[in-house]
């Protein structure tokens, strides 16, 4: 079957037009007008991802993070450009689903909420047509540091950053969560009654502002978005069975998390 048929089914679930303004989504490298045998789902497109895709004879990569995120200045022989050269050389198409999978109901932020048993959910930051990024909701009351331990365990982290002066350990019953780098939405988390905001890449001064304004936070890192891989693979395998596709759907096993902690 053609790559375009796979993507048509995906976009029926998660349309590109859900994406935030200026975001990168859709086909970024190659063509969807080709017959394919194997699709691989990945979070990032790095050297290890491309090596794996070549070795496993993948025809189509579906990823969350665009390999080309900033305008290219040249196509010289550089380590970064070699990633693009290898994809093109081996005819591997790359399709990106970024903020649209964060926003879509039943998408990444709802999957996070499922893992953390969040109920009575609402949108954190509205975008358009009653959709929006991030979620706010209720949890069974937990001390803040117990919640931090739960987040660490659920997302299989080697560490987690707490945005707290550690002077108190209050009981938490309402949280907000946004995958990726969501610190810019913290005032909306406050406005919707969240006591704790869970998001990645929180800056030092932003963390201080959060605390001054009465909001605790947990920074589990950007890489928790790797949940995208397993959950999307589940969906594609379900659609494959329903529609009798003759295509293999696999999860990337490449480690693209640039951070670890001693």
Q: What pLDDT, in 10s, does the model give residues 150-181?
A: 999 999 999 999 999 999 999 999 999 999 99
- According to DSSP, the β-strands at 161-163 and 216-219 are antiparallel
For residue 128, pLDDT over 90 is answered with no
Q: Provide CATH 3.40.1390.30 ranges for the chain.
A: 3-99+225-250, 105-219
- Is 222 labelled a binding residue? yes
For residue 105, pLDDT over 90 is answered with yes
For residue 71, pLDDT over 90 is answered with no
- Is 90 labelled a binding residue? no
Domain at 105-219: CATH code:
3.40.1390.30
Instruction: Give the pLDDT score at 183.
Output: 97
Q: Percent of the chain having pLDDT more than 90?
A: 97
Query: Which CATH class, in words, describes the domain spanning 3-99+225-250?
Result: alpha beta
Instruction: Give the pLDDT score at 89.
Output: 98
* Start-end of H helices in the chain: 3-13, 47-55, 79-89, 99-103, 108-115, 144-154, 186-191, 204-212, 227-243
Global pTM value:
0.96
- Is 225 labelled a binding residue? yes
- Is 59 labelled a binding residue? no
On average, the pLDDT of the chain sits at 97
For residue 224, pLDDT over 90 is answered with yes
Q: Which residue carries 């290219």 as its tokens? A: 72
pLDDT tens, residue by residue, 174-183: 999 999 999 9
């Amino acid at each position: 079957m053609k790559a375009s048929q796979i993507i048509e089914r995906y976009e029926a679930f998660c349309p590109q037009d859900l994406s935030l303004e200026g975001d990168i989504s859709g086909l970024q490298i190659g063509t969807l007008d080709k017959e394919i045998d194997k699709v691989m789902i990945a979070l990032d497109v790095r050297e290890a991802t491309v090596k794996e895709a070549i070795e496993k004879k993948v025809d189509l990569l579906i990823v969350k993070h665009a390999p080309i995120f900033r305008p290219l200045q040249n196509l010289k022989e550089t380590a970064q450009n070699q990633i693009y050269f290898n994809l093109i050389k081996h005819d591997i198409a790359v399709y990106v689903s970024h903020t649209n999978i964060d926003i879509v109901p039943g998408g990444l932020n709802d999957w996070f909420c499922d893992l953390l048993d969040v109920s009575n959910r609402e949108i954190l930051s509205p975008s358009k047509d009653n959709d929006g990024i991030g979620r706010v909701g209720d949890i069974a009351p937990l001390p803040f540091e117990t919640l931090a331990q739960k987040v660490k365990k659920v997302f299989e982290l080697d560490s987690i950053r707490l945005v707290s002066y550690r002077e108190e350990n209050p009981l938490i019953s309402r949280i907000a969560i946004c995958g990726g780098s969501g610190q810019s939405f913290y005032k909306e988390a406050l406005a919707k009654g969240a006591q704790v905001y869970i998001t990645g890449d929180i800056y030092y001064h932003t963390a201080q502002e959060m605390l001054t304004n009465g909001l605790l936070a947990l920074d589990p890192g950007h890489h928790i978005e790797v949940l995208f891989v397993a959950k999307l693979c589940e969906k594609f395998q379900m659609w494959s069975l329903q529609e009798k596709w003759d295509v293999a759907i696999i999860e990337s096993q490449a480690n693209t998390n640039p951070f670890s902690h001693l």
